[in-house]
Amino acid sequence: MKNGPLSLLFHSLVVAFMLAPLVVVCLVAFTPTDTLQVPWGDYSLRWFRAVFAHGDMVQSFWNSLGVALVAATLAVLLAIPAGLAIARLDFPGRQALNGLLMSPLIVPHLVLGVAMLRLFALLGVRGSSMWLTLAHVVIITPYALRLMVSALAGSDRSIEQAAQSLGASRWTTFRRITLPLMLPGITGGWMLAFINSFDEVTMSIFITSPQTVTLPVRMYMLATESIDPMLAAVSALIVGLTAAVMLLLDRLYGLDKVLVGQQ
Amino acid sequence: MKPGRTLPYALVSPALALFALMVLLPLALTALLSFQRFSYDTGVQDGFTLSTYANMLGDSYYWEVFGRTAWIALLTTLLCVLIGAPEAYILSRMGAPWRSIFLLVILAPLLVSVVVRAFGWGLVLGPTGFVNQFLEWVGIGRVRMLYTPIAVVVALVHVMLPFMVIPVWTSLQKLDPQVENAALSLGASRFTVWRRVVLPQVTPGLLSGGLIVFALSASALAIPGLLGGRRIKMVATLIYDEYLHELNWPLGAAIALALLVVNLAVMLATNAVLEGNYRKRMG
């Protein structure tokens, strides 16, 4: 069935609504003035230069990048064996374990943030970037795990059985058959985990210290104090970076599959 | 594959250890914290007290904040249903290249930091933003939207809409277009087809989408923090203030646990409805 003109009008409005704030942020970033205006005619890169001259902002970017790179890698390393066990093996407590590993999608990040703040305070590790990274691992593992499990669920188990009946050891079967089957789940899961860690603000705001402040937390704190076009320039850079990762994800894996889940 | 009995546990043990240490233990510690005494002079003290909860339940201020959070989250959910469900339906009826392109356009903002999106709405809805320029141009005049529930709800709908489109889209994928065509050819009106064929198919998607949207809206921090200002206090911004400004951690912990319990209760109730619905349809 075709969409009628009314449907298409509705659709255009929804698309405009979804894109409006992102487009406006990117336009405002190029303003030559000190105000948050969309520039007409005059464009300037002065606010982008201001971002790179802002030492705290640059430091926060590196903090975020480091945390997200390490956390996404650790999350995938945890999700490979866990996903294998959940998707391929049947054992008592499997459902409960799956529920626990998926719980960061259900327990609000805010609650996890204050809970970890308490833990870190008792352990005396507030401001440690290692513990911040571990906290990120917890909240991004569900994304990696979900892709891992769906990659395995969608693959044919009889190939593994064939390999074993032909005399391959369990390790060889894993290395030569199962791991390649999981590869799309691993790359897609890593990137999705990376983006979610890089964007995380609600939990991080409670457990970062002035030295470990991540980029979204820095932006949040700046935006609650004073708003100038420099924030628009940072936002535009983030939108650009996200778009680049998104295109990569789409090429490698199909973005609709990553976000909607495999059917 | 005939795994040994210990293999599954060996495989999951690293993840299990991390989650026990960083999810279960901190939540238990926070539950304990909410029963500890607090004074502004000496901070958190040992001992057991129910007074934090008693004060919270007896103070109309907290009821007001929880009430405001509930209606803002409900309104956001309702708007997401009204916008997301038709949009998913329209997307599912599009032709080959456009369908995936526009699905990406709707879903992609999900990957952009919520702080960026809240900031973007601040620019769009601000006193000199696009919306106010338009309102002035059509002669209505400027409307104050920033630091009112309007800005909070608009930005929340923007952030949550993909979470509604995804499950509805998924359930529409299972709908055979031939069933719709059959109903039409048998003389059903388009409205009847929509009500009797499409709607029952997407109801589970609507419910699970609505659940996610409600839960995430009720605990959102950055959007009310940036667009609601001091006056539109929501549960999340209240918890933030108790922890990082007032430093009354036991009170913050009690509010956070109340939020968690309400969220879980809503989820369990919706799940029960979903499963009941499923059983009924399976006969």
For an interface test with B, give the residue of A2, A18, A95, A139 to mutate (most B CBs within 10 A): A18
The answer to whether A14 contacts B83, with C-beta atoms less than 8 Å apart, is yes
Does residue B201 lie within any of the structural domains? yes
Does residue B23 lie within any of the structural domains? no
Does residue B42 lie within any of the structural domains? no
- Alpha-carbon gap, residue A48 to A51, rounded angstroms: 5
Report chain A residues whose CB lies below 8 A from the CB of B215: 106, 108
- pLDDT tens digits, B10-46: 999 999 999 999 999 999 999 999 999 888 888 888 8
- What kind and span of H or E run contains A74? helix A55-88
For the residues A198-214, what does the mean pLDDT come to? 94
- B105: confidence class by pLDDT, cuts 50, 70, 90: confident
Does residue B233 lie within any of the structural domains? yes
Does residue B160 lie within any of the structural domains? yes
| pTM, entire model | 0.91
One-character DSSP codes across B82-96: HHHHHHHHHHHTS-H
- pLDDT tens digits, A118-165: 999 999 999 899 999 999 999 999 999 998 888 888 778 888 889 888
Whether A108 and A180 share a structural domain: yes
Helix ranges (DSSP H) in B20-113: 25-33, 51-58, 60-92, 96-107
Does residue B15 lie within any of the structural domains? no
The answer to whether A24 contacts B124, with C-beta atoms less than 8 Å apart, is yes
DSSP single-letter state for residue B39 = E
Q: Look at A80-84, A158-162, A232-236 and tell me which has the smallest mean pLDDT.
A: A158-162
- A262: confidence class by pLDDT, cuts 50, 70, 90: very low
Q: Tell me how many domains chain B contains.
A: 1
Q: Which domain holds residue A240?
A: 55-260
The answer to whether A199 contacts B111, with C-beta atoms less than 8 Å apart, is yes
One-letter amino acid for residue A248 of the chain: L
Whether A116 and A192 share a structural domain: yes
Does residue B39 lie within any of the structural domains? no
Whether A96 and A158 share a structural domain: yes
Q: Residue B264's domain is classified under what CATH number?
A: 1.10.3720.10
Does residue A121 lie within any of the structural domains? yes
Nearest CA to A176 out of A161, A163, A189 is that of A163
Does residue A229 lie within any of the structural domains? yes
Q: Residue A73's domain is classified under what CATH number?
A: 1.10.3720.10
Nearest CA in chain A to B190: A1
Q: Which domain holds residue B204?
A: 49-282
Encoded tokens for A173:
């079967």
Report chain A residues whose CB lies below 8 A from the CB of B130: 20, 24, 38
Whether A92 and A16 share a structural domain: no
Among the partner residues B106, B122, B252, nearest to A18 by beta-carbon distance = B106
The minimum CA-CA distance between B138 and chain A, rounded to whole Å, is: 19
The answer to whether B113 contacts A116, with C-beta atoms less than 8 Å apart, is no
Does residue A49 lie within any of the structural domains? no
Q: Is the Cβ–Cβ distance between A26 and A239 less than 8 Å?
A: yes
Reply yes or no on whether the pLDDT at B3 is more than 70. Answer: no
DSSP single-letter state for residue B37 = E
Does residue A179 lie within any of the structural domains? yes
Does residue B6 lie within any of the structural domains? no
Q: Is the dihedral of CA B188, B94, B79, B240 positive or negative?
A: positive
The answer to whether B113 contacts A160, with C-beta atoms less than 8 Å apart, is no
Whether A159 and A64 share a structural domain: yes
Whether A196 and A245 share a structural domain: yes
- CB neighbours (10 Å) of residue A161? 13
Q: Tell me how many domains chain A contains.
A: 2
- A260: confidence class by pLDDT, cuts 50, 70, 90: low
Does residue A62 lie within any of the structural domains? yes
Does residue A133 lie within any of the structural domains? yes
Does residue A31 lie within any of the structural domains? yes
Q: What ipTM was reported for this prediction?
A: 0.89
Whether A154 and A98 share a structural domain: yes
Does residue A140 lie within any of the structural domains? yes
- pLDDT tens digits, B248-279: 999 999 999 999 999 999 888 888 887 776 66
The answer to whether A89 contacts B166, with C-beta atoms less than 8 Å apart, is no
